[in-house]
Amino acid sequence: MRGRFIFSVLWPACLIVAALTGAAWLVGWLVKADPWLVSLCGGTALASFAAALLFGICDYGWGVFWPELTESLAISAAQVAANKLRSALTALGVIIGIVAVTLMGTAILGIDAGVERSLSGFGDDVLYVSKWPWRNVQDWWNFRNRRDIRIDYVEPVTAAIAERPEGPLKLAVPSVYWSANVIRGEYRVSNVSILGTSSELPYLVKSDMKEGRFFTEVEARGGRNVVVIGYDIADALFPNESPLDKTIRIRSQQYTVVGVAARQGSFLGMFSWDSVVIMPVDAFTRSFPIRWADPTIRVQVDMARLDEAKEELRSIMRRVRGLGPEQKDDFEINSQQVIRDQIDPIKANIAIGGFFITGLALFVGAIGIMNITSVSVKERTKEIGTRKALGARRRTILLQFLIEAVSICVLGGVGGLALAWGLSAAVGALLPSFPLVFSAALVVLGLAISVVTGVLSGFMPALQASKLDPVVALRYE
Amino acid sequence: MIPPTATPAATRITRPPGALVIEIEGVTKLYKMGAETIHALRGVSLKIHRNEYLAIMGPSGSGKSTLMNMLGCLDTPTAGRYEFNRKNVATMGDDELADIRNREIGFVFQTFNLLPRSDALHNVELPLIYAGLGKSGRLDKARRALENVGLGQRMGHKPNELSGGQRQRVAIARALVNDPSIILADEPTGNLDSKTGEEIMALFEQLYAQGNTIIVVTHEEDIARHARRIVRLRDGLIESDKPVE
Ligand SMILES: Nc1ncnc2c1ncn2[C@@H]1O[C@H](COP(=O)(O)OP(=O)(O)OP(=O)(O)O)[C@@H](O)[C@H]1O
Ligand SMILES: [Mg+2]
């Protein structure tokens, strides 16, 4: 089997297929393409890489491949050690490329994680009926003129839900927001989001209590001055004690703390339960102008029937608002998808920018590697002649110079990964709210990119070396 | 373990020729240099058997190295027939030629051609790596080859830590290590002083006695006299082909 021509064509072909599908996998993974396609690409990349290895070894024969591999590694280690500065400069392009791709990966993974964490606090399966759409609108005056949403719409919506228990709508809860200072004795937190809602909010949100409880229906109906506070608020106002049953002041009112929400973490100023104070709507109305408090009806739905749920909620709202068949909706049904839709282009931009920088840096690096390999081939022309006289086959010479190119790239890749790791650790220390995710997949990715860059850039000079006429090479001075 | 420096005449033995190793017939080699064509070889025919010790002589430019490269399967003739071990070289692919150079031929160069960054042992090991031999077998054979040329104490030395004669011994050990059918040496003493040259020729004498087949290119009569047969080239043609008395 050794030395069959077909193998010497198959393994580079497989390697190229692996590189292309690998790149496709990466792009697909980052922009969240169809997961079936993404895993198809990833699988193909892995399989063809394995096939390339297999065919490569068939091509050489294992008994020849292994000693030649170790020999080539030793040679390239010696080459790199003998030309430290040259190797380091050449590796620089690869280092920059790997830093760019890993930082891009960390950023995108981080944004994903942060957004998911923030959004999951709301509850995934909730629709929001409000006056304003969450997307950016140009014709804002058309929305401003809409009638206000009133929180007592909760009652007709709840009644409609009760009429059709098998329907896609499950639970309706009101919410109003205001921003105010929260004070307890010497301690004070400014601009806290005050949320007014019903006792049923806990069924909607994915947030546990750290201690205490949520306020009860009785407390809510009575409009009692009770609050549940977020983790950060509790921490700021009650640094060394439990806040339970203590009072805090908001505007002129005193409120009793009945519960503290578990810590959620925050992300780039997005909403987080950690810095919220929650109270019954009727308590809220005593201090704040409810009309201006973005009154919203939150409706929990069956996610499997989302479209149906939207349609049903819309018709209920049209009925509640008394709209005629010819009139347009004068309310908005929002969902978290809007927020995700706004984040996706940001991620895509980071990905495009990252790929551009990576591609550019790797291109420069690849040219450097190509050059250094050419120089190395020139310098050692006589050695190549000697090796051929001693029985080195073409592919042996090819492998030797390829390994040299790949070694430098991998060296650059490892350097780049270390640098990227350090940078993301530093960013993580300076901006703890930005959740950087430096994953093992990124390390594998970085190394794979280095290897592929090495193979692609070293191939031409290595091929030239392997094709040298032994007599010409031996005569070379 | 320096090999005996006794006068070659005292130990001179001649073995009867064995099987045919090399047969060339009407081999020519042309080099095109722009408009001009250089005839390096103009039709050379030669038979070399196992157990022969042959010297190729001739003035500079007569085509000795060209012939040697051809015999060593490094180069291909422009025309003519070349059979190695009764197999036509012209029909062989690149890999097959590489394998013949690896297993059947041992090269010794005028300029030694050792890998500068590798020690003596690794230099000698190299053909065995290309042959696909396992590590322990490789080291074993390489050590024995170095001991055979009297360098048992110098295995860890890099080429620049060795004298010219020692370097050529390493190169000879490297040529020998794979038990080739034939050893080809192109001016092996050309870069050595005459005393060291004589030592190298004594080593060749010893190798010949041990059963190796040797071809040496030289333009020194003193060196050529060590061989058992001398082929003289002039202008790419064989001028004479005589045994040494
Ligand atoms: N690659 C080449 N291109 C052109 N001409 C060449 C080439 N190689 C050899 N020649 C020519 O072929 C002729 C024979 O060269 P060769 O090297 O075989 O001579 P030689 O007998 O070994 O000489 P010397 O004793 O100086 O080594 C010379 O005229 C040389 O110039
Ligand atoms: Mg010559």
Confirm whether pTM is higher than 0.80: no
- Residue A209 domain-assigned (yes or no): yes
CA distance B113 to chain A (A): 6
Q: Which residues of chain A have pLDDT under 50?
A: 1
Domains of chain B by start residue, with CATH: 9-14+50-74+101-243 (3.40.50.300)
Average pLDDT, stretch B173-197?
A: 94
Is the separation of the CB atoms in B197 and B168 below 8 Å?
A: no
Whether residues A39 and A72 fall in one domain: no
CA of B56 to the centre of ligand 1 (A): 14
Please say if the pLDDT value at position B9 is more than 60. Answer: no
Q: pLDDT at position B6, please?
A: 46
Whether residues A215 and A364 fall in one domain: no
Q: Cβ separation of B113 and A389 shorter than 8 Å?
A: yes
Local confidence band at B101 (pLDDT 50, 70, 90 cut-offs) = very high
- Residue A360 domain-assigned (yes or no): yes
Average pLDDT over chain B reads 91
By Cβ distance, the residue of A63, A390, A471 closest to B127 is: A390
User: Sign of torsion, CA A14 A18 A20 A24?
Assistant: positive
CA distance B11 to chain A (A): 31
- Residue A386 three-state SS: helix
Is the separation of the CB atoms in A274 and A178 below 8 Å?
A: no
Closest residue by Cα to residue A202 from A225, A175, A165: A175
Cβ–ligand 1 contact at B40 (below 6 Å): yes
Residue finishing a domain among A265, A300, A330: A330
Is the separation of the CB atoms in B64 and B58 below 8 Å?
A: yes
Contacts of B138 in chain A (CB under 8 A): 67
Whether residues A305 and A350 fall in one domain: no
What residues make up the domain containing A15?
A: 1-55
Cα–Cα distance, B108 to B100 (Å, whole number): 16
- Residue A399 domain-assigned (yes or no): yes
Residue finishing a domain among A55, A74, A100: A55
Whether residues A365 and A439 fall in one domain: yes
Higher-pLDDT residue of B98, A443: B98
Cα–Cα distance, A338 to A133 (Å, whole number): 9
Cα–Cα distance, B178 to A191 (Å, whole number): 85
Q: What is the ipTM of this complex?
A: 0.93
Q: Which of A157-166, B6-15, B100-109 has the lowest mean pLDDT?
A: B6-15
Q: pLDDT at position B164, please?
A: 93
By Cβ distance, the residue of A75, A391, A474 closest to B102 is: A391
Average pLDDT, stretch B194-220?
A: 93
Q: Which of A302-311, B19-28, B172-181, B231-240 has the lowest mean pLDDT?
A: A302-311
Whether residues A287 and A407 fall in one domain: no
Cα–Cα distance, A125 to A141 (Å, whole number): 30
Q: Cβ separation of B75 and A474 shorter than 8 Å?
A: no
Q: pLDDT at position B170, please?
A: 96
Whether residues A350 and A318 fall in one domain: no
Cβ–ligand 1 contact at B38 (below 6 Å): yes
Cα–Cα distance, A450 to B219 (Å, whole number): 53
Cα–Cα distance, A473 to A384 (Å, whole number): 7
CA distance A435 to chain B (A): 49
Closest residue by Cα to residue A244 from A211, A283, A208: A211
Number of folded domains that form chain A: 3
Amino acid symbol at A195: L
Residue finishing a domain among A330, A357, A392: A330
**Model pLDDT for residues B113-155, shown as the tens digit of each residue:** 999 888 999 999 999 988 888 888 999 999 999 999 999 999 9
Q: What is the CB neighbour count within 10 angstroms for residue A124?
A: 13
